[in-house]
Amino acid sequence: MAPTAAPTKLQLVQSNSLPALVQVEIEQLILCGELAAGERINESDLAMRFGTSRGPVREALRGLEESRLVRSEKNRGVFVREVSVAEADEIYDVREALDQLIGQRLAERATPQQLCELDAILEEMDRATAVQDVNSYHALNLRFHDMLVDFAGNARLTESYRLLTKGLLLFRLRGLQDGGGFPVSNTEHKAVMAAIAARDGARAGRLLRQHAAASRARMHKAAASRTRK
């Protein structure tokens, strides 16, 4: 008889936290492309992978459907959503406006401790850039922007921003990989941070909005590159 496998990290958490953790894990699979756009998601395979029953996986998928990362088809199952460039453009229209507000608010209210935490992330991104580790950089980039909106101190803004930008996850990675964003993205971040540290809300908001617009341009460049392949 085969030895019993050690419990996974997911198995060790309380049951009421499990669906949320499973949701994060599935998000990462979508983000890194292991679950590709348009692919049908197999609940049983994921349950086995995470060492759980299918219930937490099903709950996690419902959460991902609300976040518009997956879609459910009656009698067919759950699929990773395919976001078109046109839809991503609409998301960017709103994201740019929200980023401007985030930059303005941060310049007004960011604490010295928060500024230190953000600078530390930028240093990590510099190290990832130096070794051309785009996947690590991408994860840090998402964390950096998540911290920006969190530190802006408006719960509704945070909720709206996170829900809105879920659909851009893959586009942001492709923009770094194929759109030329990897060598310049952190330079843009540092300019934003300099304006925030100087308490120049107008400049911080303008630069963060320009950063989002540059990200959109990189998305289009990456999409064109993939079309030619």
Helix pair 85-109, 155-165: axis angle to 10 deg: 150
3-state secondary structure of 42: coil
pTM value? 0.76
pLDDT value of position 110: 96
Instruction: Give the chain's count of helices (H) and strands (E).
Output: 11, 3
pLDDT of the chain, 229 residues: tens digit per residue: 444 444 455 544 444 588 889 998 998 888 767 888 789 999 999 999 999 999 999 999 999 998 788 899 988 999 988 778 888 899 899 999 999 999 999 999 999 999 999 999 999 999 999 998 888 888 898 899 999 999 999 999 999 998 888 777 666 666 566 655 667 888 999 999 999 999 999 999 999 999 999 988 888 887 777 666 5
What does the alpha-carbon distance between residue 191 and residue 211 come to, in Å, rounded to a whole number?
Answer: 10
Domains detected in the chain: 9-80 (1.10.10.10), 85-228 (1.20.120.530)
Other C-beta atoms closer than 10 Å to the C-beta of 49 total: 16
